Every structure is written in structure tokens, then in C-alpha cells.
Structure 1
Amino acid sequence: MRPTRAGTIQDAVARCYRAAGGVEAVAEQLGLANSTVSYGTEINEARPGGIGVNHLARLAMTDPDCALPLAEFFAALAGGVYQPVGGVAEVISLFSGCGLMAKECGEAQAATILAATTQRPKDIAEAEREIEEAIAALTKSRAVLTSLQSGAA
């Protein structure tokens, strides 16, 4: 695979290809020539991003592991981060989801206050971990609300 620069679409495509088993596996899966697929990781201003979003979407729909680097790339472009939700079934009810949100957000707040006070690397790392757990709890509850809104739950 061609060398790529971190944070570029070419790097996201290369990580997508690795998740799918490499250039040859992707070419076979999409019914494209190896050279066409390889072109997707070439830095080329005439055709930035290589093989095109339609092929990448097909690949990501076939293999969710391929979707991850693309989701992370596009989320960063939009000024955010990709937060996997997991199955909506992981939140039994909105009531239990609220309890989990309160617990995780409280732990994140306490850990962040400690980190701000001590500024020790250990405390900062712990605060980051607690914040990630709170974000996950909030995101899972949001997924349940979204599914209720769409009638999918």
C-alpha cells in the first residue's frame, strides 16, 4: 500500500482497505482492478480521495470495520468525533439510561475537578476515561430516543 499522511482522506481509505484485508481483497469485493483500488490512496489533486465515495460506501456497507476510519475522518472534518453507539438494546429503558447518565456524568465531573486541581497526568487520564464513559452513556440514550422518534424501537 502507498504511504499516506495521517489525517488525510488517503490515510482513511488506506485504513479502510486494511480493515477489509488489503487492496486485493477490496478490488475483488468491489469488482475493480487492483490498480484502481490502489489509486484510492494516492495523493492526487486531479482526483483527491481516489476511488470515489460510492465505492467506499459499498465497501463500508459490506464490512462495518471499513466504515470506522471513514466515519472518524468525516466526523473530524465536521468538527466532531465519531462515537460508536453499540446496540440500542444495551439500554433497557430510558429510565435506566437516565440513571446511568447521571452516574457517569457525576463521575466525569468529579474526576475532571480533581484533574483540574492536581494537574497530575494520572488524574487527567482518569478524567478523560470518565468523560468517555459519560459520552457513551449519553450517546446510547440518544440512540434510544432517536429510535423511538423514528418508530424503530
Structure 2
Amino acid sequence: MRATKVGTIQDAVARCYRAVGGVEAVAEQLGLANSTVSYGTEVNEARPGGIGVNYLVRLALHDSRCAVPLAEFFADHAGGVFEPVLSQADVISLYARCGLVAKECGEAQAAIIRAAETLKAGHLDEAEREIDEAIAVLVKAKADVRQKRGVA
């Protein structure tokens, strides 16, 4: 595999390839030559898109481990982060998720109020932890809703 610069699309593609078994495995899966697949990790202005998004989509649909480095790359460049949110063990009803949202958001709000009143380091740290927990449960709720709509 070619050496790639961290944070580049070539690096994301290389990580995608490694996740699913390397250049040879990808070439076999896509029905392409090893050299064509390897080209996707080369910086080349004659063909800056590498192997192309359509091939990467096919890989990601075949094996979700390939999608993770690509999602991380695009999330970074969109000013965000990628965090997988639903595992098979975490699938619950939307009603149950609502209860978790209410609990975690209430705890976050209480911690923020306490931190605002005291401005003590411990209370500020606690507020941040509670906010993170509330964000996580809200993101999972969003993923649940998207899954129910059939888009996730």
C-alpha cells in the first residue's frame, strides 16, 4: 500500500482498503485490477478522484468497516465528527428512547444550572459530562428515527 498523508482522501481510501483486507481484496470485490485499486491512494492531479466515489460506495455497502474512514474524512471536512451510534444491542423502541432522552437532558440541564450558580471546576466538569451524555442519547434517538424512515 502506498504511503499516504494523514487527513487526506488518499489516506481515508487506504484505511478503507485496510479495513476490508487490502488492495487485493478490494480489487477482487470490485472486479478491478490491483493497479487500478492502488491508484485510488495516489495523489495525482490527472485523476484527483482516485478510483471514484461509486466504487467506494459499493465497498461501503458490501462491508460497513469501509464506510467508517470515509465518513470520518467527510465529517472532518464538514466541521464535525463521525461517531457510529447504533449497535445491534442498542436497538430499542422509540418510546424507550424518549425516556432516555428526557432523563439525560434533565440531568444535563440540572448540572448546567448548578455549574452556572457556583462556577466551581467540579460542577463545570460535571455539566460537561452530563451534556456529553445528553448529546449521545439525542444522536442515538436521531439515528433511531432515521432508521425507522429507512434512510440509515
Q: CA deviation at 1:127?
A: 3.8
Asked whether the equivalents of residues 91 and 97 of structure 1 are also in contact (C-alpha less than 8 Å), the reply is yes
User: Which residue pairs with 2:146 in the alignment?
Assistant: 146
- TM-score when normalising by structure 1: 0.76
Normalised to the residue count of structure 2, the TM-score between the two structures is 0.76
Q: Deviations over 1:95-123 (max 9, x none)?
A: x2222123333455638x49x7428xxx5
Question: Aligned partners of 2:79, 2:87: CA distance in 1, in Å?
Answer: 25
For 1:90, the equivalent position in structure 2 comes to: 91
Which letter does structure 1 place at the counterpart of 2:144?
Answer: V
Partner of 1:118: 121
CA–CA separation in structure 1 for the residues paired with 2:136 and 2:102: 12
Residue of structure 1 equivalent to 2:5: 5
| Consecutive unaligned residues in structure 1, runs of 5 or more | none
> Deviation at 1:6?
1.3
Matched, 1:44 2:19: no
The more displaced of 78-87 and 35-44 is 78-87
Q: Does structure 1 residue 34 correspond to structure 2 residue 34?
A: yes
Q: Percent identity between the aligned chains?
A: 64
Number of the residue aligned with 2:24: 24
